[in-house]
Amino acid sequence: MKQQKVIVFLPAFNEEESIAQVIRKIPRHFDPKVKIEVLVVNDGSSDRTVEQSWKAGADYVHTFAENQGLGSAVRKGLELCVLNGADIGVMIDADNEYPAEQIPELVKPILIGTADYVMGSRFMGTIKGMKWNRRIGNYCFTFLQALLLRKWIYDGQSGMRAFSRLAMEEAEIVHDYNYAQVVTLNLIRKGFRMKEIPIRYQVRKAGESFIKFRSYMTSVLPAIIKEMRRPVKKVIHNKTTSGVRGRGIQTLQSKGD
């Protein structure tokens, strides 16, 4: 049986203190039918993020010359997963807050064909160390997504997600600052099947979050409005996906380059 290729990609901006831990925790051999590769999307870091990524075993590193924003990094990660022939793409934050060891649970619904898009839910699982203001902010933005989609969502801001190949090809992220809300709105509106699984979450011990309340509100809310105003077409689901397979990427470094 042909192996399913899963590319785990980590958007990273100045995460030298944590990214190696995340990469080393990614399970590489949990299923003989699954091949795992690791891609780092370096979003203009000025520290040793790239060096630490290579040392920890990253298979590819793509670098933006200047910081573009998390939304842009995730968009590029999805694009590179498709171009490198991934059947499934997994996004996980590089800050070591999310449990990389739970990636097998995250991809299982896609592997068995019961979902196209899977989010790791902190609020279905366990949360350690999240401040009350961030918790309330998460609840509010998640509730807004649920209202707009008329579908219950537990954790709309999760930094751990898995995408089928077709979901990666069709996902649209309409702003560069962030991706969390708009990609979920986009994919569910297009008819993709979403599932949440409980995960174990612990607030970062190193580095600093890019999220600032004012910039988050002034960037994310307009993007949600923009996404909901855009017409989208339902995607017809089948087991045969289109897209480019096996093509090289000129701007992507791999081991041995």
Q: 112-136, pLDDT tens digit by residue? A: 999 999 999 998 988 887 777 778 8
Read off the pTM: 0.86
Strands 60-64 and 34-43: parallel
Does an H or E element contain 138, and which?
Answer: helix 132-149
Q: Is the pLDDT of residue 12 over 80?
A: yes
DSSP E strand stretches across the chain: 4-12, 34-43, 60-64, 88-92, 117-128, 160-164, 194-202, 252-254
Question: Quick one: tokens of 34?
Answer: 């699954």
- Give the pLDDT score at 49: 98
Q: Does the CA dihedral 183-14-43-60 come out positive or negative?
A: negative
- Contacts (Cβ under 8 Å, ≥6 apart) of 247: 83, 84
Q: How many helices (H) and strands (E) does the chain have?
A: 8, 8
What CATH number is given for 4-130+158-173+186-208 in this structure?
Answer: 3.90.550.10
Any idea where the domains of the chain sit in the sequence?
4-130+158-173+186-208
- Give the pLDDT score at 212: 57
- Give the pLDDT score at 34: 97
43-101 per-position pLDDT tens digit: 999 999 999 999 999 999 999 999 999 999 999 999 999 999 999 999 999 999 999 99
